[in-house]
Structure 1
């Protein structure tokens, strides 16, 4: 069987190649460049905890040592303060969390932190207030992109199933029913034969253009000036979001500033730029750095070392199709997003996780069209939902007050809306859920609710593996096998040999063995919201298929078959022949 051709050796392409190799699928990665990555501290990535764990499984490198998880989230904003006390209740007129009252720190003229709620009145002046919040239970990981790419390249160098072809620029693709052929030009220009081809070649994707796939959307939705610097800020280990800072003297007075920590006392700062294409000069950027640091420290500019700068332009685009026969798109070749803190690269890594096990199954066992089609159905729907959420929130946060009453969630605190994408919450940032997946099984009478909804990523818990070892559930993902988890309180205190042949275990083991695809049987003492003897069926990429009440061999088989895209062609032919 021919290898999978991966076009593009960025983080998404390398991740896909490694994910395929973990499932014994060879690949060749066509790298347009020489295979080197320029270190850029102003080019960083933010990964949710589950995505960082996915990359760590592939690379064997603990990313926490290369990046920073912020300990909390500090939010700064201008507030209108009470200067006249009335006994009317004007309500939360600006949708930003109410007037300055208990729980806020006041500054400027007068101390208003003791104003009773019933005395809140008209806002006549402007003052400055700070609120402090905590990060989610599992805060995001922030690291330089070249560090991530370097870890992936090092893992690829150790992987015999992955071949990197440097200086290979794609210029032609030919498809057949049995495979795909790609031609590259350059010093090593040649024809490459593959079973499938995946375009991970970025926003200007040659693969997408050769397949004549439209890429509609919007250009320059937002622009940011970016700086990486070493300095001591008043909030070590915290990310910071500052809306409409009052000290701004360079350019318009509105537009938030975001600061995220990196190891070694380094910070990445992002300034939202006004609409337009005004040139960001070095002098303007240095002025912004100095006034921002001075504003945060409440005095003169503290000592700092400017390490890197840049301008980041956010585009919102979504490819019409993500699959054409044996050709697929992933990462920036399929979608562009990034406004309001949403992370385009992380979505690309999720594309690779979703596609790898489906391609691996097709490579080993023959194509299942419904399974391969589900990649576009699942991933495109998730990214489209993020883009819609950003489009709804942008007018609210960027001055479109007239739309406020029509935007869902418009009454929420503005800072919370803005923070969702940065912290991985809500419609802007919450982990992907494939609730409407074409792979979802038909309603099952024996299905029981747990704290994880069908289609959502499972919670990482300790489980007992088939060899009797204690491992994390997440460590068993990405191997191409389905996972079946029995919730059995008390098993963690006994060796596996004492209970593996007792109770319902033999019947469940027989049901797992009979499934239409290799599956691993695991046992957990507990799982959030699950009662004893609940059986979880989990996809290779860690999304819950269903939770069943006890051992239900027929229902478990049907759910597994649906997860694979329906009966295989061989099974369907055998069933038809027996009629």
Structure 2
């Protein structure tokens, strides 16, 4: 069968290629450039725990070696510290005293070229991935059995693939060739950006400072953030007012000196300017993410980034969601409901994130007048911004596919756990089939379903002592009978789960259902639903051929 064609060799396209390869699906990555990335320290990304785990699983490399884990987070308003968080510590602290006792995990801040470099290095050693450099897509045709694409460049040629995924950015050629609309808002926010090496009073801590008390040089809203990288390098972002005011080098240098001096209480500390830029945030969402055998992912499908939300996080989740569905179709024949669920799930999650940001923006950016004097309003604004920057709440947390067409009907044996169906599972320690103890996330991304039995006490015994005892033989037989390959894992505990709860988990780590005890019929029904229901290849081919002619 023909490989999957991936247009675009950015982080999302490379991650998708590696995710497909882990499931024995070949791909061709069409790279417009020379296969190298420009080194830009002013272009960085902040990744949440789930996307860090995904990239590390795909590359086999610890991303902490290329990025930087923040030691903490603090937000300020004028001269007042509104909130302080120590990552890995016990609690947060706000302006009124101790926080709510919640424990926070540190985001990973990494230069985008370093992230892409790690993915490229893994691709080099992957036999199932071919990268075609200097290959710019200019035409695409599809039929009932595959996709034909043409690229221009020094070695312009025709490519034949089973599917094609457009990971080719905001100006996506794939999206335009399919005549898919990309509505939304332009220049929602603009930031002046500088990467520099210096020492700040909060080593290793990220900072968001609103209503800075010092006079600003040139156009400014009085909001600046500082996010640390390794080796005393910082990325500073100044929120610019609406408009197209030119950010000149002199104005930027004056802004740097003023900001560093304000934080240091007087004289500007020594610094080395490494890179500069202007970051413009757009909010857009493609009308369709699938057209027959052609899909969109990453910035080709959505743009978001105001209030700390990170578009690349969502792009990597696109790749994770789509990979196992394409792999199942590649190996076993296409399935309309399963492939359609990619758009239904991912577009709904990103749309909700965009709505949350658009609803919060007027409160945060136009909150002057009486609103700024309402008790608690400043704390509420700070909480919204903190959620966005730290990957929490509706502005930052990974989305749940609660309305997914792949959700099974409620079963009488359904059990309640702290994870709702459709949400990402907690990363608990499990015992694998070979007897090893591993994090649950390490078993994801291989195209198989995961069945996790919660069995307190098993963690202190080798698997051979209990694998044939109690309910294990019956559960093992039920897992073997499922309509798709599945791996049986055992966990000592899971948040909110009673003993003998059975979790069914998708290959991308989202919970399908939790059942009380071994219920083979309910487990089978849930697994079949998670795969899109019974497949009908003939109707699928006809539907795709029709979609391709639209």
Instruction: Give the shorter-chain TM-score range.
Output: over 0.9
1:108 is aligned to: none
1:349 is aligned to: 316
Measured against aligned partners, the alpha-carbon deviations of 1:121-141 in whole angstroms (never above 9, x if no partner) come to xxxxxx655542344522211
Structure 1 stretch displaced more, 392-401 or 140-149: 392-401
Matching of residue 327 in structure 1 with residue 294 in structure 2: yes
**Alpha-carbon shift at residue 212 of structure 1 (Å):** 0.2
Question: Which residue of the other structure, out of 340, 359, 381, is the alignment partner of 1:414?
Answer: 381
Mapped to 1, the partners of 2:71 and 2:521 lie a distance apart of 47
Question: Which residue of the other structure, out of 430, 447, 456, is the alignment partner of 2:414?
Answer: 447
Matching of residue 202 in structure 1 with residue 154 in structure 2: no
| Secondary structure at the counterpart of residue 2 of structure 1 | coil
TM-score (norm 1): 0.88
| Secondary structure at the counterpart of residue 263 of structure 1 | coil
Matching of residue 489 in structure 1 with residue 456 in structure 2: yes
2:185 is aligned to: 218
2:39 is aligned to: 39
Measured against aligned partners, the alpha-carbon deviations of 1:316-374 in whole angstroms (never above 9, x if no partner) come to 00000000000000000000000010100111000000000000000000111000000
2:17 is aligned to: 17
Measured against aligned partners, the alpha-carbon deviations of 1:380-434 in whole angstroms (never above 9, x if no partner) come to 00110111001100001101569979xxx97852111111111001110011111
Q: 1:474 to 1:43 in 2, by over 3 A?
A: same
Mapped to 2, the partners of 1:414 and 1:470 lie a distance apart of 42
1:157 is aligned to: 124
2:235 is aligned to: 268
**Alpha-carbon shift at residue 570 of structure 1 (Å):** 7.2
Measured against aligned partners, the alpha-carbon deviations of 1:265-313 in whole angstroms (never above 9, x if no partner) come to 1111100011101110000111111010000010100001110000000
- Aligned positions of 1:364-375 closer than 5 A: 364-375=331-342
Mapped to 1, the partners of 2:377 and 2:178 lie a distance apart of 40
Measured against aligned partners, the alpha-carbon deviations of 1:186-240 in whole angstroms (never above 9, x if no partner) come to 1110100000000000000000000000000000000000011111111111100
Mapped to 1, the partners of 2:331 and 2:407 lie a distance apart of 22
Asked if the contact 1:489/1:526 (under 8 Å) is kept, the reply is yes
TM-score (norm 2): 0.92
1:2 is aligned to: 2
Asked if the contact 2:411/2:522 (under 8 Å) is kept, the reply is yes
2:547 is aligned to: none
Asked if the contact 1:74/1:241 (under 8 Å) is kept, the reply is yes
**Alpha-carbon shift at residue 493 of structure 1 (Å):** 1.2
Mapped to 2, the partners of 1:186 and 1:544 lie a distance apart of 44
Q: 1:247 to 1:402 in 2, by over 3 A?
A: closer
Mapped to 1, the partners of 2:490 and 2:538 lie a distance apart of 30
Structure 1 gaps, min length 5: 79-126, 574-579
2:283 is aligned to: 316
Measured against aligned partners, the alpha-carbon deviations of 1:506-531 in whole angstroms (never above 9, x if no partner) come to 00000000000000000111111111
| Secondary structure at the counterpart of residue 231 of structure 2 | helix
1:133 is aligned to: 85
Asked if the contact 2:135/2:156 (under 8 Å) is kept, the reply is yes
**Alpha-carbon shift at residue 444 of structure 1 (Å):** 1.1
1:380 is aligned to: 347
Measured against aligned partners, the alpha-carbon deviations of 1:37-67 in whole angstroms (never above 9, x if no partner) come to 0110000010001110100000011001111
Asked if the contact 2:182/2:285 (under 8 Å) is kept, the reply is yes
The alignment of Structure 1 onto Structure 2 pairs a total of residues equal to 522
Matching of residue 395 in structure 1 with residue 362 in structure 2: yes
1:305 is aligned to: 272
2:548 is aligned to: none
Mapped to 1, the partners of 2:81 and 2:37 lie a distance apart of 42
Asked if the contact 1:20/1:357 (under 8 Å) is kept, the reply is yes
| Secondary structure at the counterpart of residue 52 of structure 2 | helix
1:169 is aligned to: 136
- Aligned positions of 1:87-98 closer than 5 A: none
| Secondary structure at the counterpart of residue 396 of structure 1 | helix
1:462 is aligned to: 429
| Secondary structure at the counterpart of residue 130 of structure 2 | strand
2:325 is aligned to: 358
Larger Rg: 1
Mapped to 2, the partners of 1:169 and 1:403 lie a distance apart of 54
Matching of residue 514 in structure 1 with residue 481 in structure 2: yes
1:432 is aligned to: 399
Q: 1:404 to 1:331 in 2, by over 3 A?
A: farther
Asked if the contact 1:395/1:401 (under 8 Å) is kept, the reply is no
Measured against aligned partners, the alpha-carbon deviations of 1:161-203 in whole angstroms (never above 9, x if no partner) come to 0000001110000010000000011111010000000000000
The CA RMSD over aligned residues, in Å, is: 1.8
Mapped to 1, the partners of 2:4 and 2:283 lie a distance apart of 29
Asked if the contact 2:298/2:312 (under 8 Å) is kept, the reply is yes
Asked if the contact 2:220/2:241 (under 8 Å) is kept, the reply is no
**Alpha-carbon shift at residue 255 of structure 1 (Å):** 3.3
Structure 2 gaps, min length 5: 88-102, 541-550
Question: Which residue of the other structure, out of 189, 194, 203, is the alignment partner of 1:227?
Answer: 194
1:71 is aligned to: 71
Measured against aligned partners, the alpha-carbon deviations of 1:137-160 in whole angstroms (never above 9, x if no partner) come to 222110100000000000000000
1:96 is aligned to: none
1:93 is aligned to: none
Q: 1:178 to 1:129 in 2, by over 3 A?
A: closer
Asked if the contact 2:402/2:422 (under 8 Å) is kept, the reply is yes
| Secondary structure at the counterpart of residue 193 of structure 2 | strand
Mapped to 1, the partners of 2:369 and 2:152 lie a distance apart of 53
Mapped to 1, the partners of 2:484 and 2:354 lie a distance apart of 35
Mapped to 1, the partners of 2:343 and 2:174 lie a distance apart of 16
Asked if the contact 2:408/2:526 (under 8 Å) is kept, the reply is yes
Mapped to 2, the partners of 1:555 and 1:276 lie a distance apart of 57
Mapped to 2, the partners of 1:257 and 1:411 lie a distance apart of 16
| Secondary structure at the counterpart of residue 293 of structure 1 | helix
